[in-house]
Structure 1
């Protein structure tokens, strides 16, 4: 194992963690899940996008009528695991050391806190709940209840990095009652779909008001600068904490409502001075120094790039999910082979493109950037925005 060092998204990659989908059984529809996936649930599941609220008056009630599980097809999970193994093998072939999280044990079905209970999902999109800033691991406060203890699956790896000298921080953990969530984004969103506004969230004896909740995948790391997407008051609270924590080491730049949460299917930095963006409008919403960078606008995704699913399958990501690429060097990038338009676009920009298979990205909410946590890159705390 190498010493933890990761400041950006493009420097030569030396060590990476690739997520696991073992024992992925279902998606659980409850308040935090629907808020997190709001934009895509509303746009892409119009026949079943009604809002659902957890009635969490008691633990027993939560385990009964308070939650709804949508099963995930066994075949899709098996194929996802095949694709994850292919991703790991590709990275190894490029000279990258690959680590894996501890898999979800099949007997681990629920997480229970004093305020709620939720099904457990495996550590698949491991970018989400861990922010690597140089030599520091920061576990971020989760936004989906079922992922509350997800970083526990990474603890053996974090302990190894810590023994080698890494810093290791855990942001304050939210209670995650209904009142913890800021609903202004979904109320103001023009995505459409929901037939009932979220107005009747339930009180809990554990209410403390709005809490910090925030994912590391809302951050774009650029050496000593971090660009963060902020869409809600609970995001803003978490970024307040982050700014105070990294003061003097990093500069934090806020952008507002690029999406409901994550930034990495909106914009990625491929190397200093060059962005991959969903649209010019996304680039124009970035901090002024980044607006001066060159940009590659991702080609529009084609319908035939994606599998067709049963009518009751939940679609969790935008068709632009394949913009979620992973850079191995400033000139080499892993791209989904199912998106030939993006492959051609990046090849025309003189990148070495490594096509990798990933079939069911819209069912599982992530691409190659989401599935990986780059723990060792060669770069340092450079000032790319000077």
Structure 2
């Protein structure tokens, strides 16, 4: 059980699949609203921060309907079974207890979430586990649910590193890019004009999710949308030194790159639109960019606009998981993407995932590949 993962496409041997057990609610506070504003800005704007504060509270606990939570759990468990049936060794995090106590930082508390979208708060680079600095308060201790798995890899020789943890006061967040009328990432959105001061303020802090990093052997493509991300990339550069080449892409997305672009094999990307090519490092613009058709609205369940909080856009099904350079796990309801990949001679394994828009992730988000056969190759 030795950690060895440099990319997202060479033959997969071991993987961690997240847990959806007891995913009961979302804590909506400044950290949650900022992270998800691209998708929730058009939803119930009267509930968006800072109007929560004007209504008498700075946090709202948004309860998830039990049926959706149960069906999500069923689908995630089926994903783990599917990967095991393909010969992949599957590891699992600790489940979140149904009566989990709130977690607390300096000046804030939050209801914890299960370790479901585990790609977000961890970056695997070769034989190193890097726990990345979270941007959402409710997810601050999420990687602790992965500790038993990480410890086994560490005992087998892996390096285990934690990036500096932010305090996550209101003043920690770079709000400038949301206030910029020229940005089209998440707008239009209600400006956050009144961040509250705290005795624990330390200024803007580094925040960077593992899902902002595209791994290509010795090259890392990192999406940077604001100053919090920029600080995180600076830390990565100093820490990694000359072991990897880091390439910044500017505002490909608000945060994560893996619902915009994924590498399916050397020389081939799956991309949301062809314009992504122009955002990439010059040496990667010559790769083939497969662009699937626009998502079929009929492929998604119908939700209540005033009760069900959607955290992702309709492009979430681009968030596929490669088992090797020819085999890809795809949401069974995304028929256009399936046909596109089959026309490109990929073997598609259809897997069910009904409520991906409610829980902010797809198959790539739900998983963390820990052993693949590929090395620190120079694909450029």
- What's the TM-score once normalised by structure 1's chain length? 0.95
Aligned residue among 333, 339, 344 for 2:339: 344
Pick from 355, 362, 374 the counterpart of residue 369 of structure 2.
Answer: 374
Aligned Cα RMSD in Å? 1.3
Give the secondary-structure state (helix, strand or coil) at the position aligned to 1:17.
Answer: strand
SS at match of 1:334: strand
What is the deviation of 1:289?
1.1
- CA–CA distance in structure 1, aligned partners of residues 226 and 207 of structure 2: 9
Where do 1:296-315 residues align within 5 Å? 296-311=290-305, 312-315=307-310
2:82 is paired with a residue of what secondary structure?
helix
Q: Distance in 2 between matches of 1:347 and 1:256?
A: 31
Matched, 1:52 2:50: yes
Match of 2:316 among 321, 327, 340: 321
Q: Deviations over 1:297-329 (max 9, x none)?
A: 121001101000122211110100000000000
Q: Which residue of 112, 116, 138 corresponds with 2:108?
A: 116
Following TM superposition, by how much is the alpha carbon of 1:50 offset from its aligned partner in structure 2, in angstroms? 3.2
> Gapped runs of 5+ residues in structure 2?
none
Matches within 5 A, 1:105-184: 105-184=97-176
* Kept in 2: contact 1:138–1:169 (CA 8 A): yes
Which one of 254, 269, 276 corresponds to residue 260 of structure 1? Answer: 254
Larger mean CA deviation between 366-375 and 45-54 belongs to 45-54
Q: Which residue of 2 aligns with 1:359?
A: 354
Deviation at 1:47, TM superposition (A): 5.5
Of the candidates 72, 91, 101, which is equivalent to residue 99 of structure 1? 91
2:37/2:189 contact within 8 Å kept: no
Q: Of 236, 244, 250, which residue of structure 2 is paired with 1:250? A: 244
CA deviation after TM superposition for structure 1 residue 53, in Å: 6.8
The normalised TM-score by structure 2 is 0.96
Alpha carbons 1:30, 1:53 under 8 Å: kept: no
Give the whole-Å Cα distance in 1 for the aligned partners of 2:50 and 2:265: 42
CA 1:255 to 1:268, structure 2 compared with 1: closer, same or farther past 3 Å?
same
Q: What residue in structure 1 maps to residue 39 of structure 2?
A: 40
Matches of 2:310 and 2:359, distance apart in 1: 8
In structure 2, distance between residues paired with 1:283 and 1:364: 28
1:202 equivalent in structure 2? 196
| Equivalences, count | 374
Give 2:24's aligned residue. Answer: 25
- Give yes or no for contact 2:222–2:246 (8 Å, CA) kept in 1: yes
Q: Over residues 41-88 of structure 1, what are the superposed CA-to-partner deviations in whole Å (9 max), with x where a residue is unaligned?
A: 124x25556333776xxxxxxxx8221011101100110111011111
Cα distance change on mapping 1:146 and 1:297 into 2, 3 Å? same
Give the Cα–Cα distance (whole angstroms) in 2 for the partners of residues 49 and 194 of structure 1.
12
Equivalent position of 2:282 in the other structure = 288
Partner Cα distance (1:194, 1:172) in 2: 30
Which residue matches 2:14? Answer: 15
- CA deviation string 1:334-381 (max 9, x = no partner): 000010000000000000000000000000000000000000000000
Q: Deviations over 1:147-199 (max 9, x none)?
A: 0000000001111000000000000000111110001221123343434x212
Is 2:110–2:137's contact at 8 Å kept on the other side of the alignment? yes
Q: Deviations over 1:81-110 (max 9, x none)?
A: 110111111101110000100000122131
Aligned mates of 2:373, 2:149 — CA distance in 1: 19
What SS does structure 2 have at the residue aligned with 1:226?
strand
Residues 285/166 of structure 1: CA separation in 2 closer, same or farther (3 Å cut): same
Number of the residue aligned with 1:58: none
Other structure's SS at 1:275 match:
strand
Encode CA deviations 1:193-241: one digit per residue, 9 max, x unaligned: 434x212111111111000011000000000000000001010001000
- 2:225 is matched with 231
